[in-house]
Structure 1
Amino acid sequence: MAVQPEGAPCWADAMFGDLEGAKSFYGDVLGWTFGESSSEYGNYTTAYADGKAVAAVVPPMPGQEGDAQWCLYFASRDAAATAARIREAGGEVLMEPMRVGDFGTMCLARDPGGVVFGLWQGGTHEGFEAMAVPGAYCWAEIFAREAQKSDAFFPAVFGYRTKRMEDDAIDFRLFDLDERTVLGRMAMTDEFPPELPPWINVYFTVADCDAAVARATERGGVLRFGPMDSPFGRFAALSDPQGAAFSVIDITTTQGEMPKISDVS
């Protein structure tokens, strides 16, 4: 694939205490195969869909044990410069830009509302080798408790243009790069458990949403929402057996009219 522009989602990975369990679960649910674990890089293991690199799983480093969670990375031409913009916009750099061999440079950060994300300055590894095909990344949404903070932060860092979905039932915004919508933002309401922190929810493409949900729940995953039809596809929100949240979507099965979208001044 072509190198993603600055600010576009370009990679996703997750840390799992039970790496083999994660490989077994996602291999069954999303059809992933896995490359050799790289001991030089903490047993970082790339996942493939039809031979294309689409994500990675990794065991926690000593002292980093915690809840499993997917992390979305945004493309950066200069990770140090992007990290500086993150600080200027009120965010926090959790891990300074770090060179990962010839593969590229990574950085971890948190927005002022508590949303954790990554930066990736590509080297020999440019990011997703496929998107929006079965097993591959398709879409992501920020679930924000302090939506105004995220709304100000992400456009300041990545130059997004903001649009709003005209729906009185939800507070949902869209972030565009040029003419391409690359990210959504959902305001978390009181319906979300208070202990649930803000996060970026990653969607993986599947050929059949209901079949993917059935495989996930049979393997110990938890269905959180759906399956539900939408103009964008039939989707469902899940948690894997280790607690990492993700969604699956069949983009070929659509229903309903597209919502009205307006620019935010």
Structure 2
Amino acid sequence: MTEARGSAGRDDEGRDRYTPGAPCWVSLMVHGLAATQEFYGALFGWEFRPGPRHLGPYVRALLDGRDVAGMGRLPPDRHLPVAWTPYMASDHVDQTAEAIRLCGGTVGVGPLDAEDAGRLAICSDPSGAVFGVWQAAAHQGIGAAGQPGTPAWHELLTFESESVAKFYGTVFGYEEEPVVSADIDYLTLHLDGRPVAGLHGVGTSLPRDQGPHWLTYFEVADADEALHHVAGLGGHVLKPARESADGRVATVADPEGARFALIESRR
């Protein structure tokens, strides 16, 4: 599991730029922002600082002084799912948003400016899975990677992978690498020959209270210890730690129900 970042070069200030189409940011909208900060701060060691307030109160999570993720507060009158949302990099978010519409997706928010940080849109694919598009300005995206507490992978859980892969491939230029197996519907999306995300078709095995959705994996040093912390902090263990080709993996939810995965990578 790896993310394609930096291969597009650097910006005028020498910071890494994300390849268009690469997951570059992840954000969570919640009802109780302070309590959510306490949960993730204790779990991952994140610190927080104020971010753009284009959609209401918002903070950026930092690890060792580098940006890792964002969190915002949902308006009290909006009963929206509490879920982690990955953002894909774009050089022209308005053009990307138009391509999303033409390919059968939906643009629910934006495109709009997030102060001087950049420009964004929040969209959904034809199956209904929500994702964001980010055109960087002052804020390039995730600045820390490959260490505990950072996003390590993004995986779409959907009904079947083939049709939705065509959507993402057309919009973002991904190449597909399917897993050849009679038992699993899975393919990996690649940019410049590097894997950036996975699509997992699970048919009717999707959670009853949640349709197709993106799942973010966060790196941890010890999966079993992290699960103990999740439970102790008021979260929920949905799938206990298990071995995978990439390491030891578990699926959990925070106290508000936002699902995410933990991965103890093999290095």
Counterpart Cα distance in 2 of 1:62 and 1:213: 30
Q: Indicate conservation of the 8 Å contact 1:36/1:45, yes or no.
A: yes
Counterpart Cα distance in 1 of 2:55 and 2:100: 26
Q: How far did 1:231 drift?
A: 2.5
Q: Deviations along 1:9-50, whole A, 9 cap, x unmatched?
A: 000111110111111111111111111466676221010112
Segment of structure 1 superposing worse, 40-49 or 154-163? 40-49
Counterpart Cα distance in 1 of 2:104 and 2:231: 39
Which residue of the partner structure matches residue 191 of structure 1? 205
Q: Indicate conservation of the 8 Å contact 1:17/1:65, yes or no.
A: no
Q: Deviations along 1:206-254, whole A, 9 cap, x unmatched?
A: 111111111001112111113012221111111111010001111136x
| Match among 17, 20, 24 for residue 6 of structure 1 | 20
TM-score scaled by length of structure 1: 0.90
Closer, same or farther: CA 231–188 of 1 in aligned 2, 3 Å: closer
Q: Indicate conservation of the 8 Å contact 1:46/1:57, yes or no.
A: yes
| Match among 104, 128, 131 for residue 117 of structure 1 | 131
Counterpart Cα distance in 2 of 1:171 and 1:39: 39
Q: Indicate conservation of the 8 Å contact 2:52/2:114, yes or no.
A: no
Segment of structure 1 superposing worse, 54-63 or 110-119? 54-63
SS in 1 for 2:257: coil
Which residue of the partner structure matches residue 263 of structure 1? none
Which residue of the partner structure matches residue 201 of structure 1? 215
TM-score scaled by length of structure 2: 0.90
1:250 alignment partner AA: E
Counterpart Cα distance in 2 of 1:237 and 1:40: 31
Q: How far did 1:167 drift?
A: 2.7
Q: Indicate conservation of the 8 Å contact 2:159/2:204, yes or no.
A: no
| Match among 221, 225, 241 for residue 255 of structure 2 | 241
Q: What percentage of residue pairs aligned between the two structures are identical? A: 33
Counterpart Cα distance in 1 of 2:252 and 2:170: 31
Counterpart Cα distance in 1 of 2:159 and 2:167: 14
Which residue of the partner structure matches residue 86 of structure 1? 100
Counterpart Cα distance in 2 of 1:241 and 1:189: 27
Quick check: 1:178 aligned with 2:192?
yes
Segment of structure 1 superposing worse, 218-227 or 238-247? 218-227
1:22 alignment partner AA: T
Q: How far did 1:63 drift?
A: 3.3
Which residue of the partner structure matches residue 103 of structure 1? 117
Q: Deviations along 1:155-209, whole A, 9 cap, x unmatched?
A: 0100100011123221001000011100100012333333321100001111111
Quick check: 1:22 aligned with 2:36?
yes
Quick check: 1:48 aligned with 2:55?
no
Q: Deviations along 1:85-119, whole A, 9 cap, x unmatched?
A: 11111111111210111100010111111111000
Q: Indicate conservation of the 8 Å contact 2:82/2:256, yes or no.
A: yes
Segment of structure 1 superposing worse, 236-245 or 140-149? 140-149
Closer, same or farther: CA 38–107 of 1 in aligned 2, 3 Å: closer
Q: Indicate conservation of the 8 Å contact 1:49/1:134, yes or no.
A: no
Which residue of the partner structure matches residue 227 of structure 1? 241
Which consecutive unaligned segments of at least 5 residues does structure 2 have? Answer: 1-14
Which consecutive unaligned segments of at least 5 residues does structure 1 have? Answer: 254-265
Counterpart Cα distance in 1 of 2:161 and 2:209: 17
SS in 2 for 1:181: strand
Counterpart Cα distance in 2 of 1:155 and 1:206: 30
1:167 alignment partner AA: S
